[in-house]
């Protein structure tokens, strides 16, 4: 699914539709071979189609992921049509020390996880000097039971909490809820921020089998509308993208909204497949401020890499300074190319899914609207993903080969039947019967 920031607030981690791989490789002639080996290895480990991340969907960003660059060659690959399923979740769970047998991981019920509004799994391996840090993230969004003011965590996922993993040094559950929501049992520690209260349960200190939530009488909204009434800060930047035009030409229009009262510097990254022949000279960036005034916005930096047919995508990277409380519209045109009949997917009439654009920016240590994956009190790099686009390309009539085969076979059958009869039958003149 798509993360709805207007309803759910700040996502716990970067959320994009599809499968994404980002890697920092050695800057030598072997980088491409290392990238191919890495994607194939990840494909086997997590039972995914990452081995299809070829040169046509691989890019080398220079602005968008600058916070991850520590020297060497940076590679980025995206498969927008790859969806997470149970065959991906099972090897992901096996990476945990105790798998799904203890601790918070005991809540991972596949039957419930794949029946929720949103599901995302991620893995990150970072090296710092001589230390390797491996982090796994799972994000889900589920509706609370309707017409009920009291429910438990086990009712949402169908499982209860278990004892901490024996090899874990820390195991905790953090619940952020409005002050009008009663949480039981009492937490080990609480922290208030605005009208929300953070309840922290330390599973290493005591056993917690379940957590119950009770909405008080003054909380006069349905539990399913909790997210819309909660004062969770809205993300600083929101981005949306769609395709315009029809026929053999069109365009891509991206809307970037700055919800902050201050200037925000962002990096825009967009990888366009080679069969959408992008025209860089048609690029236009216009910003509308809080007073409704619209003006051209000149990017600080522009980096454009043209596409190579069946070789690499076109890459557009921009560094923009978004005015406070502004709405910025970025637009460019393209022509649709022609593909060989063998390059179309089985559902060719559905169209081609275009990977989402990425808007990245940095959060100050004092900014409270930050993902859970960011360490408090530090500078945090945030990535915002737009929706994937669906492009309709000229599609051949795939029924024509069938029509040609049936028509040809019919003619051959009639011709063969006539010739066979002439060659095998014995024609004789019969005398008239007396």
Predicted local confidence at residue 115, as pLDDT: 85
Instruction: Check pLDDT > 90 for residue 21.
Output: yes
Question: In which band, very low, low, confident or very high, does the pLDDT at 79 lie, cut at 50, 70 and 90?
Answer: very high
**CA-CA distance, 81 to 88, in Å (whole number)?**
14
Average pLDDT over residues 278-288: 94
Contact 269, 320 (CB under 8 A): no
Phi-psi region of 189 (alpha: psi -120 to 50; beta: other; left: phi over 0): beta
**CA-CA distance, 66 to 68, in Å (whole number)?**
5
The answer, yes or no, to whether the previous bond of 382 is cis (omega within 30 of 0) is no
Instruction: Check pLDDT > 60 for residue 230.
Output: no
**pLDDT tens across 125-182, in order?**
887 777 888 889 888 888 777 777 888 888 888 888 888 888 888 888 888 888 888 8
Predicted local confidence at residue 222, as pLDDT: 53
Average pLDDT, the chain: 86
**CA-CA distance, 152 to 156, in Å (whole number)?**
7
pTM of the model: 0.84
- The mean-pLDDT minimum among 98-102, 214-218, 220-224, 272-276 falls in 220-224
Predicted local confidence at residue 71, as pLDDT: 65
Question: In which band, very low, low, confident or very high, does the pLDDT at 101 lie, cut at 50, 70 and 90?
Answer: confident
Give the dihedral sign, CA 88/94/100/103. Answer: negative
Start-to-end Cα distance in the chain = 89
Average pLDDT over residues 180-188: 89
For 259, the enclosing helix (H) or strand (E) is none
Predicted local confidence at residue 66, as pLDDT: 64
**CA-CA distance, 19 to 48, in Å (whole number)?**
9
């Amino acid at each position: 699914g798509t993360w709805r920031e207007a309803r759910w607030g700040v996502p716990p981690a970067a959320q994009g539709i599809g499968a994404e791989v980002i890697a920092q490789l050695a800057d030598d002639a072997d980088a491409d071979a290392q990238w191919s080996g890495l994607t194939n290895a990840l494909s086997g480990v997590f039972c995914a189609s990452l081995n299809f991340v070829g040169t046509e969907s691989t890019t080398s960003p220079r602005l968008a992921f600058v916070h991850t660059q520590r020297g060497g060659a940076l590679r980025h690959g995206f498969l927008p049509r790859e969806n997470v399923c149970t065959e991906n979740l099972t090897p992901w769970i096996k990476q945990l020390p105790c798998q799904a047998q203890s601790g918070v991981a005991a809540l991972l019920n596949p039957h419930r996880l794949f029946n929720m509004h949103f599901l995302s799994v991620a893995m990150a391996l970072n090296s710092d000097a001589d230390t390797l840090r491996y982090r796994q993230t799972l994000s889900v969004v589920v509706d609370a039971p309707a017409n009920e003011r009291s429910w438990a965590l086990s009712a949402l996922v169908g499982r209860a909490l278990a004892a901490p993993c024996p090899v874990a040094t820390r195991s905790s559950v953090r619940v952020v809820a409005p002050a009008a929501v009663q949480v039981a049992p009492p937490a080990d520690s609480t922290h208030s921020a605005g009208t929300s209260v953070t309840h922290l349960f330390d599973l290493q200190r005591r056993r917690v089998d379940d957590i119950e939530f009770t909405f008080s009488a003054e909380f006069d909204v349905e539990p399913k509308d909790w997210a819309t009434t909660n004062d969770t800060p809205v993300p600083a930047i929101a981005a949306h993208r769609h395709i315009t035009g029809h026929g053999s030409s069109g365009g891509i229009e991206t809307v970037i909204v700055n919800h902050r009262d201050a200037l925000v510097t962002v990096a825009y990254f967009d990888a366009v497949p080679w069969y959408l022949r992008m025209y860089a000279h048609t690029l236009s960036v216009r910003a509308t401020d809080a007073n409704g005034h619209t003006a051209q916005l000149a990017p600080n930096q522009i980096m454009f890499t043209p596409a190579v047919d069946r070789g690499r995508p076109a890459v557009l990277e921009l560094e923009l300074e978004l005015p406070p409380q502004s709405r910025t519209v970025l637009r460019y045109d393209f022509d649709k190319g022609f593909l060989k009949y063998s390059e179309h997917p089985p559902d060719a009439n559905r169209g081609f899914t275009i990977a989402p654009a990425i808007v990245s920016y940095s959060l100050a240590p004092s900014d409270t609207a930050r993902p859970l994956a960011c360490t408090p009190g530090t500078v945090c790099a945030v990535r915002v993903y737009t929706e994937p686009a669906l492009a309709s390309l000229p599609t051949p009539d795939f029924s024509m080969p069938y029509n040609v085969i049936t028509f040809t076979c019919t003619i051959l059958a009639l011709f063969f039947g006539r010739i066979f009869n002439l060659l095998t039958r014995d024609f004789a003149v019969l005398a008239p019967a007396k």
